[in-house]
Amino acid sequence: MPVISRGFHGRRSESEHKLPPGQYETHDFPVLSAGPTPRVPVDTWRFKVRTESGTLHEWSWADFLALPTEKPRVDLHCVTKWSKFDTRWTGVSLDLLLADVETSAEYALVHSYGGYTTNLPLEDLLDGKAWIVHQFEGEELDPEHGGPARLLVPHLYLWKSAKWVRGIDMLVDDEPGFWESAGYHEYGDPWREQRYQGD
């Protein structure tokens, strides 16, 4: 039986690409941010996971790069209505990062350098659905696109894939992040057009 990496999704023909409702395809990679672009030196970068009980799990840049990587190939869908097909990334699965984290939390609040936050159900970070990525198309991730590392949750609108990621808090109760507090949808499913509260 052949062994297939969970991060590899195979080649897709053009006919397999589908646009969610209200989206258009772009071949560019637009840069959209809620504020200035942080410049985070890798020698000071840390990724921290804090459980609801306060237990802390932490990785330095060297720790992070020493972990096994996956190479997800995914489509991206931005809330501003563009979609980009077949993007290629390199990073570490959240399944691996959270494997030793004991929690009964159902929600996660993601924190970024620069102060940005976004919330997700914890189940949307597991089962091969999310990664902390540090390369895009075989190159180190530019700061404008979230480098040195960003969250990648491609089944949700791209604002959930927090740039410049620095940590995740496990929460028993859901807590809105930056855009969710400003009226964006709590979940952000592109196939349901969940752009804003009430959608």
Tens of pLDDT, residues 35-88: 789 999 999 999 999 999 999 999 999 999 999 999 999 999 999 999 999 999
pTM above 0.95, yes or no: no
131: confidence class by pLDDT, cuts 50, 70, 90: very high
Q: Give a yes or no: residue 22 inside a domain.
A: no
pLDDT of residue 16: 59
Asked whether residue 29 is assigned to any structural domain, the reply reads: no
> How many Cα atoms are found within 13 Å in the side-chain-facing hemisphere of 107?
13
Domain-located, residue 6:
no
pLDDT score recorded for residue 30: 85
**What range defines the domain where residue 174 resides?**
43-192
Question: Average pLDDT, stretch 133-148?
Answer: 96
In a domain, 182, yes or no: yes
Mean pLDDT of 169-185: 96
Mean pLDDT for 176-195 is: 96
| CATH of residue 83 | 3.90.420.10
- DSSP, residue by residue, 98-146: TTT------EEEEEETTS-EEEEEGGGGSTTS-EEEEEETTEEPPGGGT
Answer yes or no: is 14 within a domain: no
Is residue 31 situated within a structural domain? no
What total of structural domains would you count in the chain? 1
- 122 pLDDT band, cuts 50/70/90, is very high
